[in-house]
Structure 1
C-alpha cells in the first residue's frame, strides 16, 4: 500500500467524506469547522460551526450532516501530539447540524432526544431510506462521565429516538453492505457491537447478559492497550476501525472471527473513509499530528455509502 500525505496543519481532523471530484470533506474538531481538502492539497473552510464538530456524512438532499460534540479541552504532549482531554470550559451542547455546501450555512436539526439533551454526538451513517443512525459518546469531566447511546433520526428533522441505551462511550458507527446490521465501536473497551435491523430505526435485541441487547463481536483484539474510534465497512462487510494509542486501522470480520492491523504513524488515528473510481483509496485522519493521508490500493474495496457524492 502506498501512503500519500494530502494535507498537514489541520486542527484535529475527523469525519472524512470522499467526494467524486477528488476532494475530501472533513471536520476540524479543534478549529470548529467543516473543511474541504482539494485534490491539489488546498484547504478551504466550508462552514464555521463552533463547538466540536466530529462525525459527518452526506445526506439525501446533498447537505452534510454533522455530529457536533459541543467542544473539548485540549492538551499537547511533549512529542507534539494534540489530543482532547475532556469537556470544554465553554461547552456549547451536543447537536446534529445540517450544512448547506453551497452557502456554508448550518442549521441545528436535533439537540434533544426524548426529553434529554444530546451530550457529545460523535459519528453518523445514513441508511438507504434517508434516515440516519448516530452515536452520542457523552462527555468526560474531571470526576465523572456521561453514559451515551445510539439514535435514529431523519434528515427532514421529523423525529428522533434512542435505539441503543445505555452505552459506554459509543463512537464509530457503520452499516453492513446489505443494510441489515448496525455496528458501533466502543472507545474505552475497544469493543465492537452488532445489532440486527428489523425495520428502519428498529433493532432486534438480545437478552441478559448483554448490557443493551447487542452482540459483542470482539474486545481489544490483539491484546494491545488501545481504544476504538470511528470506522468504515468494506465491500465484503469487514469493519475497518480507527484505533487510538495502538495507532492504525484494525480490520475485523463481520462475525468477529478474524482481525488484522494496519499500523500508521499517529497514536490518534481517528477515522477512515473510502473513495476513488474503484473504492480502493482509503482516506485516513491522523488527528494527533493534524494530517489527512490517502492509502492507495487498499486490499479490499470500500463500501460505497448511501448518498456518497
Structure 2
C-alpha cells in the first residue's frame, strides 16, 4: 500500500474533508484553526475557530461544519503529541459553521435544552440536511462526563439529545443507505449501531446493556483506542485506531475485514480518514501525534459523502 506524507507541521490535525477542487481541509485541534492543504502540500489557515476544533464536514449550504470540543491540553508522551483534558480557557463545546469564501465563523450551538455542550467531537450529515454528532464529555482526570449523541439542523434552528450515558463517543458515520448510525467509543474500543427510523430518530436495544442503548458491533482484540471513522462504498467501517496505529476495517456484520497498519514515523495517533480523488480511491488520514496529513492509495473506494465533493447527498460524512 502506497503511503505518502502530504503535509507536516500541523498541530494535532483531525477531521479531514476533501473539497471539490481536490484541496483537503483539516482542523488543527491544538491551534484552533480550520486549515487548507493543497495537492502540493502547501498549508494555509481558512478560519480561526478557537477552542479545540475536532471534526468537520461539508454541509448542505456549502459551508464547513465543525464540532468543537472547547479546548484540550496538549502534552507529549515519548516524543509524541497528544490532546486531552480541559484547556485553561475552556468555556463550552460548540458546533460552528465556516464560510469558505471569506473564513467567517458562525457558532450555531453551545447547549441543548439548557445543558452545555461539553466536548463536541465528530459529526455526520444525513441526506435531509441534519447532522448527527457526538459529545465526548470532559474529564479533569478525577471525574468526568458521560458522553452523549445529538441531532441538529444545519440552520441552527433545532437540536435535541438522542441518547446519553456513553463512554467517550467519538467517531460517527451512516451506512450507505442511511438506515444505520454507527458510533465508536475511544477507550473501550467498541463500535455501536442504531437503526435510523426517521431523520433524527434512532432505535437500539438489541444488545443488553449497550452503551447509549446501542447495538454492539465490534471491539478491538488488543490494546487500541478508537478515534474517527469513515465508511467505504461497500458499507465497511474504517475506524481510525490509535496506540496500535492504523485503520480497523470492520464489516456491517461486525467482522474484522483487515487491519491496515499505518506506520509513518511510528506515529501512534492515527485519528481520522476520508476519501477523494478518482473513484474515491485515495484515503486522506490524519497522523495527529506527529502533525501529518497522509495520502494513501486505498484498496476499496470510499463512500460518496452527503454534500461531499460531488455535491450529491448519499451516505456518510466524517
Q: What does residue 287 of structure 2 align with?
A: 286
Q: What does residue 130 of structure 1 align with?
A: 129
Secondary structure of the 1:241 match is strand
The question of 1:244 aligning with 2:242 is answered: yes
1:1-309 mapped onto 2 (5 Å cutoff): 1-78=1-78, 80-206=79-205, 208-220=208-220, 223-265=221-263, 266-296=267-297, 298-309=298-309
Secondary structure of the 1:65 match is strand
CA contact (8 A) 1:20 1:276 kept: no
Cα RMSD after superposing both structures: 1.1
Structure 1: runs of 5 or more not aligned: none
CA contact (8 A) 2:17 2:56 kept: yes
State the TM-score, normalizing by the size of structure 1: 0.96
Distance, in Å, in 1 between the alignment partners of 2:291 and 2:96 is 23
Q: CA deviation at 1:107?
A: 0.9
- In 2 relative to 1, CA 211–241 (structure 1 residues): closer, same or farther, beyond 3 Å? closer
Distance, in Å, in 2 between the alignment partners of 1:147 and 1:209 is 15
Distance, in Å, in 2 between the alignment partners of 1:11 and 1:184 is 25
Secondary structure of the 1:288 match is helix
Distance, in Å, in 1 between the alignment partners of 2:84 and 2:61 is 35
CA contact (8 A) 1:176 1:237 kept: yes
Structure 2: runs of 5 or more not aligned: 310-318
CA contact (8 A) 2:192 2:217 kept: yes
Distance, in Å, in 2 between the alignment partners of 1:70 and 1:47 is 16
Q: CA deviation at 1:20?
A: 2.3
Distance, in Å, in 2 between the alignment partners of 1:11 and 1:279 is 26
Secondary structure of the 2:41 match is coil
Between 1:201-210 and 1:171-180, the stretch displaced more is 201-210
| Alignment deviations for residues 255-303 of structure 1 (CA, whole Å, 9 cap, x no partner) | 102332111122100000011120010000000000001001x111000
Q: For this pair of structures, how many residues does the alignment match?
A: 305
CA contact (8 A) 1:171 1:230 kept: yes
Distance, in Å, in 2 between the alignment partners of 1:225 and 1:216 is 18
- In 2 relative to 1, CA 77–209 (structure 1 residues): closer, same or farther, beyond 3 Å? closer
